[in-house]
Structure 1
Amino acid sequence: MEQYFNRFLTGQRVFLKQMEQSHLERFAQLENEKCTLLLANDDIPFPSTAEDHTTFFNSISGKKEEFIFGIFDKQSEELIGSCGVFAINWKNSTCYVGISIASEWQNKGIGTDAMNTLISFIFNYIPIHKIKLQVFSFNANAIRSYKKCHLEQEGTLRNEIFRFGKFHDVFLFGLLRDDWNAKQIQ
């Protein structure tokens, strides 16, 4: 039994855990980075206020329909991003996932490690059949990472997001529990 506790929410280079009040300032800093504002959600990329972050931060603690984690570097224990499970549909056994990594930690395999850790958490501890996510077509690094995590592109929402003065597609990705289980055996 001890072997399961040692591996719980720990990847190769990162570990995931619920953020605490002491992480609020760093979390707000990460969420207001330019790359996060442009790549992590479809809102107009405008920095949030400290009050906005405090409200969001307080709303996620104790919520059992969403699981938002801080992504921490194993060596330094520094908060380097966040990821989460949200929009859980218990009737159809589906959920969405999202991830955001600090710009200085991108393109180093951190996002892939964190996403694999999150996927493992979902399929080992939540009765979910399918994980879904959306990614902007111009986010090539994220798309490569998701494919490494065995997510498959299932569709395209054409001209769905306005960035950089024009409309871009949004790709829909998914991962079925059975497909993930089969990859674990190989």
Structure 2
Amino acid sequence: MYYGEKVCLRAYKEEDIKVAAELVNDEELKRFLTPRIPFPISPWEEEDWIKSQKGNQSGQFNFAIEDMKTKKYIGGCGIQDVNWLARTATVGIMIGDKDYWGKGYGTDAMKILIKFIFENMNINKIKLSTFSFNERAKKCYEKCGFKVEGILKDEIFKDGKYYDEVLMAVFREEFQE
């Protein structure tokens, strides 16, 4: 487990399956999570995904986010698309429990994840993308040291409108300062 001030990042547990399936199917949350058609995920699909999670040498790692006070599962975060030669990785995060939105839990989890990547994986650059309408996420990422690297115009179609996709990154040297 990896600890911050409010949360810890840990492996997924079987008891997370039901809660995780409910969270990822929330209409408001799904709006922030996927650029694709927001089709529901079945509890069995979520169970298969959780049971398949293991750290591996290809560099894909997914963590459950747990509130340290209550020991409650509140979301997840992960590392994908590791390029060992260029020393880059892509990350994603979801605080699914709305009671924890806007209270610093996502920022704490992201800082732990960034520290894990820089200290344990020898990565130089961490990347992510978010949607232009997701102001809460952009503020969180900026607090963690991410800066906008580019904008993909009209990349996302949600609620009958087009939105930009915002590409952000943080470098090891900048984060350590």
Is the shorter-chain TM-score for this pair beyond 0.5, marking a shared fold? Answer: yes
The amino acid across from 1:38 in the alignment is R
Deviates more, 1:74-83 or 1:38-47: 38-47
What is the SS of the residue equivalent to 1:172?
strand
Identity %: 36
1:87 aligns with 2:71: no
Aligned position for 2:158 = 163
Q: 2:44 aligns with which of 34, 40, 51?
A: 51
CA distance in 1, matches of 2:98, 2:81: 26
Q: TM-score, normalized by length of structure 1?
A: 0.90
CA distance in 1, matches of 2:78, 2:29: 15
CA distance in 2, matches of 1:52, 1:43: 17
CA distance in 1, matches of 2:86, 2:4: 28
The runs of at least 4 consecutive aligned structure 1 residues that moved more than 4 Å come to none
Tell me how far 1:53 sits from its aligned partner: 1.0
Q: TM-score, normalized by length of structure 2?
A: 0.94
1:67 aligns with 2:61: yes
Aligned positions of 1:1-186 closer than 5 A: 9-64=2-57, 65-101=59-95, 102-182=97-177
Higher relative helix content: 1
CA RMSD of aligned residues (A): 1.3
Tell me how far 1:62 sits from its aligned partner: 5.0
Tell me how far 1:180 sits from its aligned partner: 1.0
Deviates more, 1:127-136 or 1:95-104: 95-104
Q: CA 1:24 to 1:61, structure 2 compared with 1: closer, same or farther past 3 Å?
A: farther
What is the SS of the residue equivalent to 1:118?
helix
Q: Which residues of structure 2 form unaligned runs of 5+?
A: none
